[in-house]
Amino acid sequence: MKSIPTLLQVLIALALSTQVHLVYAQSGQFTTAANNYLKKRTDAFMTITGYSLTPDVTTGSLSITDKGGENQNLQMISLGGGDRISANFPLYLEGTIAFNRYDPTFTDGIGNTSVTVPVKWTGITGTGGVGWDFPLTDTLRIRPIANVMLGHVESDLSIAGRIIENKTGVDLQFLNGGRMNAYGLGGSLMLDYEDYKPEREYDAELRYTNIAINTFDSSTAVQGSADSQSLGLWARARYPTPLTVLERPLRAVFEVAHTEFLGQLRGALGFDSLSSVGTGIEIDRSASDPMFSRVRLVFRYQFGQNVRGTSIGLAASF
pLDDT, tens only, 200-237: 999 999 999 999 988 887 666 566 777 888 999 999 99
The pLDDT value given to residue 125: 87
Per-residue pLDDT, averaged over 60-81, amounts to 64
- Nearest one of 218, 142, 226 to 184, comparing CA atoms: 226
Q: What is the mean pLDDT of the chain?
A: 75
Q: What confidence score (pLDDT) does residue 171 get?
A: 46
pLDDT band at 57 (very low <50, low <70, confident <90, very high): low
Cα–Cα distance measured from residue 36 to residue 40, given in angstroms and rounded to the nearest whole number: 6
Dist CA 267 CA 111 (whole Å): 34
pLDDT number for residue 109? 45
Residue 22: other Cβ atoms inside 10 A: 11
Confidence class for position 7, pLDDT limits 50, 70, 90: low
Q: Which of 47-51, 111-115, 165-169 has the highest mean pLDDT?
A: 47-51
Mean pLDDT across the stretch 27-49?
59
Of these ranges, 136-140, 164-168, 268-272, the one predicted with the greatest mean pLDDT is: 136-140
* pLDDT band at 277; cut points 50, 70, 90: very high
Q: Is 90 exposed, middle or buried (0-12, 13-18, 19+ CB in 10 A)?
A: middle
Report pLDDT digits (tens) over 159-214.
555 555 555 554 454 455 566 788 999 999 999 999 999 899 999 999 999 999 88
pTM given for the model? 0.74
Residues 127, 100 contacting (CB under 8 angstroms)? no
CA distance 199 to 66: 46
Give ∠ CA 43-129-233 in degrees, rounded to 5: 80
Per the document, the length of the chain is 318
* pLDDT computed for residue 23 by the predictor: 43
State the burial class of residue 178 (Cβ atoms within 10 Å of its Cβ: 0-12, 13-18, 19+). Answer: buried
